[in-house]
Amino acid sequence: MPDKIRFSIVGFGNIGRRHAGQILQNADTELVAVCDIDAAAKNHVPNGVPFFTDLGDMLKITDADILCVCTPNYLHEPHTIAGLNAGMHTVVEKPMAISIAECDRMIAAAEKTGRTIFAVKQNRYNPPVQEVKKLMANHELGEIYMIQVNCFWNRGNAYYAGSDWRGKKDKDGGCLFTQFSHFVDILYYLNGPITEAQGRIHNYAHQHNTEVEDTGSFVMKAANNAIINFNFTTCAYERNMEGSITIIAEKGTVKIGGQYLNTVEYQKTEAATLPNINITAKANDYGLYQGSMSNHDKVIQNVVDVLHHNHAVMTSAEEGREVVRMIEKMYYSIS
Ligand SMILES: NC(=O)c1ccc[n+]([C@@H]2O[C@H](COP(=O)([O-])OP(=O)(O)OC[C@H]3O[C@@H](n4cnc5c(N)ncnc54)[C@H](O)[C@@H]3O)[C@@H](O)[C@H]2O)c1
């Protein structure tokens, strides 16, 4: 492995450019190539970085260690497998894919090639999430009784306008994949898998621009017996309102809140008091809408730490798959 880890990126839209920014800022990484089928994306590529419109060409010509897969959800599987087969480790944006079958093929390709898939779930790094993770990992909350997840965001017309994949059933997969897989992941990260799900979804305000639901509510059972309540919508009036997780447990009640899990909003625990975190740091701001907390610097650093310092992968392919399994279970419960 060379001193600087050489990154390439496929898909140079909103999130691909964010990856590039973080790769350029990290002293241990360099950006050696970018690919996007839209030739206009070249205008955003940093000076001196080769640009390709065909992934096959980029993989043939470029000597890179990593491929960041930043294309729309339905392309995560073929692009990840192409990168692995070209001998690269891959960093794949969320959701890992939009079906378990796709995840399984990706994992099989990683095993065959001996390369690593890094699934992007940057909300795990949010300081309130890390604090509550420590409490739960140390069993300091005792038995977990109930968890409520509320995702009340806004996605307006501008978000869908001009996109050939957002809101399309076969390319996007639905809100649980595109907007709220981060919250499913944090639920999984903190409390483990679910075993049962039952719910309702409906498209109230986005029938003119999406083929998927914009609102849903699920009751689920976790493997540790906790009852989970998962509510989501992209219809919060005009702006994101809340992204929160409340945990009711034997030895404490904790709410991680804010718009994107960025505050400790409530705590009453037997264990020592958590730091009073209220992060006003920016969410990923895409101009027309806001996403999750901007932790992609830590995603890139994790790749460095794994490849250079033998650290653990923050979110493995198996965990990315588990999140997809939970989402499939939720959607299948209503069909
Ligand atoms: N981690 C996060 O917080 C976060 C935030 C935003 C998006 N995402 C994920 O990143 C992915 C991309 O989202 P986005 O908002 O950047 O979308 P986008 O539409 O802005 O960008 C996607 C880019 O991929 C390009 N593309 C499409 N097909 C291609 C192909 N065959 N080869 C090369 N390039 C191709 C498009 O031209 C476009 O530039 C999605 O999976 C999304 O869920 C993650």
Residue 283, pLDDT above cutoff 90: no
Burial environment of residue 275 by CB neighbours within 10 A (0 to 12, 13 to 18, 19 or more): exposed
Residue 37: C-alpha distances to residues 11, 41, 56 (Å): 8, 8, 11
Residue 192 Cα to ligand 1 middle (Å): 28
DSSP string, 286-333: -SS-EEEE--HHHHHHHHHHHHHH-PPPSS-HHHHHHHHHHHHHHHHT
* Fold match, 5-119 / 124-292: no
Q: Which pLDDT belongs to residue 259?
A: 83
Residue 289, pLDDT above cutoff 60: no
Distance, in Å, from the CA atom of 4 to the CA atom of 29, rounded to the nearest integer, reads 5
- Of 61, 55, 63, 8, give the one whose Cα is nearest residue 36: 55
Tell me the pLDDT band of 272, cut-offs 50, 70 and 90. confident
- What is the position in ligand 1's atom list of the atom closest to the CA of 12? 39
Q: Which helix (H) or strand (E) segment is 211 a member of?
A: none
Chain centroid to Cα 106, Å, comes to 17
Q: Which pLDDT belongs to residue 3?
A: 87
**Considering the chain, what percentage of its residues have pLDDT values greater than 90?**
90
The answer for residues whose C-beta is within 8 angstroms of residue 144's C-beta and 6 or more apart is 136, 191, 222, 224, 225, 226, 247, 248, 249, 250
Q: Which pLDDT belongs to residue 119?
A: 98
Q: Let me know how long the chain is.
A: 335
Tell me the average pLDDT of the chain. 94
Q: Is 138 in contact with 334 (CB distance < 8 Å)?
A: no
Nearest CA to ligand 1 atom 3: 292
For residues 37-66, give the mean pLDDT: 97
**Which residues line ligand 1 at a C-beta cut-off of 6 Å?**
10-16, 35-38, 41, 55, 70-73, 75, 93-94, 120, 122, 163, 178, 284, 291-292
Residue 105, pLDDT above cutoff 90: yes
Relative to beta strand 89-92, strand 117-119 is: parallel
Distance, in Å, from the CA atom of 111 to the CA atom of 109, rounded to the nearest integer, reads 5
State which fold the 124-292 domain adopts.
Dihydrodipicolinate Reductase; domain 2 (3.30.360)
Residue 39 Cα to ligand 1 middle (Å): 15
Domain boundaries, the chain: 5-119, 124-292
CB atoms within 10 A of CB 221: 14
Q: Which pLDDT belongs to residue 118?
A: 98
Helix (DSSP H) and strand (DSSP E) numbers for the chain? 10, 15
Q: Which pLDDT belongs to residue 275?
A: 78
Q: Which pLDDT belongs to residue 271?
A: 86
Distance, in Å, from the CA atom of 66 to the CA atom of 33, rounded to the nearest integer, reads 10
Residue 250, pLDDT above cutoff 80: yes
Q: What is the pTM of this model?
A: 0.95
Q: Is 182 in contact with 292 (CB distance < 8 Å)?
A: yes
Residue 287: C-alpha distances to residues 13, 159, 307 (Å): 13, 10, 34
Residue 66 Cα to ligand 1 middle (Å): 17
- What is the position in ligand 1's atom list of the atom closest to the CA of 38? 37
Nearest CA to ligand 1 atom 24: 11
Nearest CA to ligand 1 atom 25: 11
Nearest CA to ligand 1 atom 36: 11
DSSP state of 235: B
Q: Which pLDDT belongs to residue 1?
A: 63
Ligand 1 pocket, mutate which of 71, 80, 91 (most atoms under 8 A from CB): 71
Ligand 1 pocket, mutate which of 15, 177, 297 (most atoms under 8 A from CB): 15
Model pLDDT for residues 122-166, shown as the tens digit of each residue: 999 999 999 999 999 999 999 999 999 999 999 999 999 989 999
Greater confidence (259 vs 108) lies with 108
| Phi (first) and psi of residue 319, to 5 degrees | -75, -40
- What is the position in ligand 1's atom list of the atom closest to the CA of 16? 16
Q: Which pLDDT belongs to residue 290?
A: 59
- What is the position in ligand 1's atom list of the atom closest to the CA of 71? 24
Residue 62 Cα to ligand 1 middle (Å): 21
Q: Which pLDDT belongs to residue 260?
A: 84
Residue 274, pLDDT above cutoff 90: no
Ligand 1 pocket, mutate which of 93, 172, 292 (most atoms under 8 A from CB): 93
Sign of CA dihedral 261, 262, 268, 270: positive
Distance, in Å, from the CA atom of 108 to the CA atom of 323, rounded to the nearest integer, reads 18
Tell me the pLDDT band of 294, cut-offs 50, 70 and 90. confident
CATH code that applies to domain 5-119: 3.40.50.720
Model pLDDT for residues 190-221, shown as the tens digit of each residue: 999 999 999 999 999 999 999 999 999 999 99
Q: Which pLDDT belongs to residue 111?
A: 98
Nearest CA to ligand 1 atom 15: 14
- Both tokens of 110, joined, read 């990683």
Model pLDDT for residues 63-100, shown as the tens digit of each residue: 999 999 999 999 999 999 999 999 999 999 999 999 99
For residues 272-291, give the mean pLDDT: 66
Residue 209 Cα to ligand 1 middle (Å): 18
Residue 17 Cα to ligand 1 middle (Å): 10
